[in-house]
Amino acid sequence: MGRMTKNGKSNGSAKADELRSKQVFTTGEAAEVCRVSQQTIIRCFDAGRLNGFRVPGSRFRRIPRDELLRFMRENDIPTEALEDSRRRILVVDDDPEIVSLLLDVLGNDERFEVRSAQTGYDAGVMTEEFRPDVIILDYMLPDINGNVVCQTIRKNPKLTGIRVLVVSGVVDRDAVQDLLDAGADAFIKKPFDLGELTSQIDQLLTV
């Protein structure tokens, strides 16, 4: 499995990134992703084995991303070109130094793709867009408290499977319990041991 680091992308991978972010594919693009000929794709499309639609008022075939993935898995085609194997982590903290610290710690780890947000609102937008596997959440945010962020994520059925790790300076037992009740998966107190932090993240990802 080819791991890519954020800092060391090759030129050729620009195209791959572009493909990965696409939601709808032409038959040519699908052929490239699946590494088969365009004719094969067209044949499968026409035979109904690869579902899609035609662009209204034309004959051009279009294949949605989900359907393409299903097709690839069904035929044991590696999905590597379409899916990034790195786990996505969203760091939410209003202190830029904390964000910077966590980016340095996690960004050096090739397994992770890390993004950050500084407010509760940004965190919401990023969650929808970035679909993180793990959110590292500060309790005290300038606009919304961490427990509200937790509740919002848990209420959204599309976002199931997201793990929330709260990292905070609060020491109040009750506040921590509130967070866990609101749907946080784990809590780590600031300041933290870096080893403990990464092992906690690993643990959340394997569950």
Residues that bind other proteins (CB under 8 A): 95, 97-98, 101, 104-105, 140, 167-173, 189-194
Q: By C-beta, is 159 or 176 nearer to other proteins?
A: 176
Cβ at position 115, least distance to other proteins in Å: 19
Tokens 């749907």 locate to: 183
Cβ at position 206, least distance to other proteins in Å: 23
Q: By C-beta, is 34 or 167 nearer to other proteins?
A: 167
**133, 205 Cβ separation under 8 angstroms:** yes
> What count of other Cβ atoms lies within 10 Å of the Cβ of residue 144?
15
Q: By C-beta, is 33 or 167 nearer to other proteins?
A: 167
d(CA 111, CA 88): 9
Cβ at position 198, least distance to other proteins in Å: 11
Tokens 């609060």 locate to: 170
Side chain identity at 70, as an amino acid letter? R
Q: State the virtual CA torsion across 58, 60, 61, 65 in degrees, nearest 10.
A: -110
> What count of other Cβ atoms lies within 10 Å of the Cβ of residue 124?
17
Cβ at position 91, least distance to other proteins in Å: 13
Q: Which residues pair with 25 in a beta bridge?
A: 63
Q: By C-beta, is 90 or 170 nearer to other proteins?
A: 170
Q: How far is CA 168 from CA 33, 51, 98, 187, in A?
A: 43, 47, 11, 8
Cβ at position 163, least distance to other proteins in Å: 21
